Structure 1
Amino acid sequence: MNIEIGRGKSARRAYGIDEIALVPGQRTLDPSLADTKWQIGGIDREIPIIASAMDGVVDVRMAILLSELGAMGVLNLEGIQTRYADPQPILERIASVGNHEFVSLMQQLYAEPIKPELIELRIKEIKAGGGIAAVSGTPAAASKYGQAVAKSGADIFFVQATVVSTAFLSPESIASLDLTQFCQEMPIPVILGNCVTYEVAMNLMKTGAAGILVGIGPGAACTSRG
């Protein structure tokens, strides 16, 4: 259904996962026959769950625990974990602050620069604990830290932004990331996202990515959705 939004402009109604009901098929299955195993980028998992690359969701310990349980946790390479050597006190400050002070605190905390040595350290900590080192960064971070991430022993790289496409327009002074070249040059599997249309999904698949992320943001916590 098209919705008029201005002079000669219209938008198509889109739906989120929480708006869609899954209808049972004609056949049912005994639980003993169900198999939840899956594979992505040559990595086998028991449970089809990928924990969001958010500071409030995945840290080194959680990434290791999810790996042990058969799922996967993705560490945000541009968050608290790679800006502070000891992220725990920082997370406690975030958890204790009120709604009115939250924005200013986050601006202050994220003004701290990302430290490449902490990226390497977090990846090695996950690997040392027996976990799958799945990490996430924006296209800009992928361009800057991609090769270092691979050399540090990461298993899979998620290139994520609110929306990712192969046709990104940027100022002449800023070189945009060539997703096809990046996927070909990275020695580890690359996941690209997010996308919401068939055309963009197909274009991302053609880059050689091991997988794509469909939808916008991590769910109800996403500011873009609001």
Structure 2
Amino acid sequence: MTQDRKLCFNDILLVPQYSTLDSRTTPDITTHLGHLELRAPIISAPMDSVTGKYMLVIMDKLGGLGILTRHINLPDDEELAMQVREIQWARDQGAINVGCAVGIKGDIDRKAQSLLNAGCNVICLDVAHGDHKKMYEAIKIIVLLQDNYHFIVMAGNVCTEEAVIKFAKHGVDAIKVGIGPGAACTTRIITGFGYPQMSAIIECSNSIKKYPQTTIIADGGIRNSGDMVKSLWGGASACMIGYMLAGTNATPRIDGKKVYRGMSSRAVSGRSDIAPEGVEIEMGDKGETEEVVKGCIKGIRSGLAMGGAKNLTELRENIKHVIVSPLSMEETMPKS
């Protein structure tokens, strides 16, 4: 059995290029998810330890997007009522772009319409394994609502070219790519399945170039702004982050603590009939959410400046990369 080597973020480096930019603050990092424009290509993950109502407001304020978490341990009606309240609160605080995650079971049409009526403009169909019959059935239901509502359909997660093409053909505007790279995810350990994230981003984005209205979101494994720049270079239109935000002031407290936990962990699902595919990590307080996001924005702009790129299109078209040895990471890290 032979195949090309598949790559993770740390397996590559982008090569600096000649630049005419006057400043690292010059690059335009505006991006689009379908018809939705974002001033910053950063999305907070729909995790109960990351995105509640406060995160929705801050992400919108800074030009990104928050995707409100599901509450999968609650009955459907209680979960929906909580999501509606939090969306309405965020809108009352001035948030314009507000996303919300839903599952693929139950009365999806009713749930989505309630969320849209509350002010949500991004519906995210969010499951661990998106390339599934029930997902495509759910996508068909949600896409039909675009006849009467102006919103973006986001769905995931997947990691293969075949899956993203099917999603694009079904009308998904933004596809979450990533199976198993997240800091609190154990899918690869428990099941043996997954795909190295850098290669997944590159291959999935290349496979849907003939579907210009469909975009890729890099979801999982992003630990710094350098990984974000690599994701955007690889073809992602935005980066979804959870671990980088966990423990900051806008994240929810769970049982009085700041934690970071996978949505397929037993602590979230409460299920004992299936193997958990996530863990819970106690974070402590990590400071201001706004400062973390602003740091990411500055880092992305600095990355474009290193490549002489005025915008994300130039980053993708003009920058070369090299595949590096495992020792590159040791060389890269700061020394005490």
TM-score, scaled to structure 2: 0.48
The runs of 5 or more residues in structure 1 that have no matched partner are 4-11, 80-109, 171-175
Distance 1:169 1:159 in 2: 11
Match of 2:75 among 107, 110, 113: 113
Against the structure 1 CA distance between its residues 147 and 29, is the aligned structure 2 distance closer, same or farther, given a 3 Å change threshold? farther
- 1:76-91 alignment runs, 5 A limit: 76-78=69-71
Match of 1:151 in 2: 117
Against the structure 1 CA distance between its residues 56 and 153, is the aligned structure 2 distance closer, same or farther, given a 3 Å change threshold? same
- 1:164-175 alignment runs, 5 A limit: 164-165=130-131, 167-168=132-133
Aligned: 1:179 with 2:139: yes
Distance 1:74 1:210 in 2: 15
Residue range with higher mean Cα deviation, 24-33 or 61-70: 24-33
Distance 1:190 1:184 in 2: 10
Does the CA contact (< 8 Å) of 2:48 and 2:70 recur in 1?
Answer: no
Q: Deviations over 1:147-194 (max 9, x none)?
A: 2212222111111111212x5169xxxxx7342342132422101111
Secondary structure of 1:125's aligned partner: helix
Distance 1:208 1:62 in 2: 28
CA RMSD of aligned residues (A): 2.7
Distance 2:164 2:104 in 1: 16
Distance 2:121 2:187 in 1: 29
Match of 1:46 in 2: 39
Match of 1:195 in 2: 158
- 1:90-129 alignment runs, 5 A limit: 110=73, 112-114=74-76, 115=78, 116-129=80-93
- 1:64-79 alignment runs, 5 A limit: 64-78=57-71
Share of identical aligned residues, percent?
Answer: 23
- Give the partner amino acid of 1:133: V
Distance 1:217 1:211 in 2: 19
Distance 2:169 2:45 in 1: 24
Does the CA contact (< 8 Å) of 1:78 and 1:137 recur in 2?
Answer: no
Secondary structure of 2:105's aligned partner: helix
Distance 1:199 1:29 in 2: 40
Secondary structure of 2:133's aligned partner: coil
Against the structure 1 CA distance between its residues 223 and 130, is the aligned structure 2 distance closer, same or farther, given a 3 Å change threshold? farther
Distance 1:22 1:211 in 2: 26
Match of 2:48 among 48, 51, 55: 55
Does the CA contact (< 8 Å) of 2:109 and 2:141 recur in 1?
Answer: no
Does the CA contact (< 8 Å) of 1:134 and 1:156 recur in 2?
Answer: yes
- Give the partner amino acid of 1:70: G
Against the structure 1 CA distance between its residues 201 and 183, is the aligned structure 2 distance closer, same or farther, given a 3 Å change threshold? same
Against the structure 1 CA distance between its residues 126 and 41, is the aligned structure 2 distance closer, same or farther, given a 3 Å change threshold? farther
Asked which structure has the greater RCO (Cα within 8 Å, sep 6+), the reply is 2
Match of 1:216 in 2: 179
Against the structure 1 CA distance between its residues 149 and 2, is the aligned structure 2 distance closer, same or farther, given a 3 Å change threshold? farther
Match of 1:101 in 2: none
Against the structure 1 CA distance between its residues 40 and 28, is the aligned structure 2 distance closer, same or farther, given a 3 Å change threshold? same
Against the structure 1 CA distance between its residues 61 and 2, is the aligned structure 2 distance closer, same or farther, given a 3 Å change threshold? same
Match of 1:7 in 2: none
Secondary structure of 1:190's aligned partner: strand
Q: State the shift of 1:22 in Å.
A: 3.5
- Give the partner amino acid of 2:102: G
Against the structure 1 CA distance between its residues 169 and 122, is the aligned structure 2 distance closer, same or farther, given a 3 Å change threshold? closer
Against the structure 1 CA distance between its residues 27 and 117, is the aligned structure 2 distance closer, same or farther, given a 3 Å change threshold? same
Q: State the shift of 1:128 in Å.
A: 0.8
Distance 2:11 2:161 in 1: 18
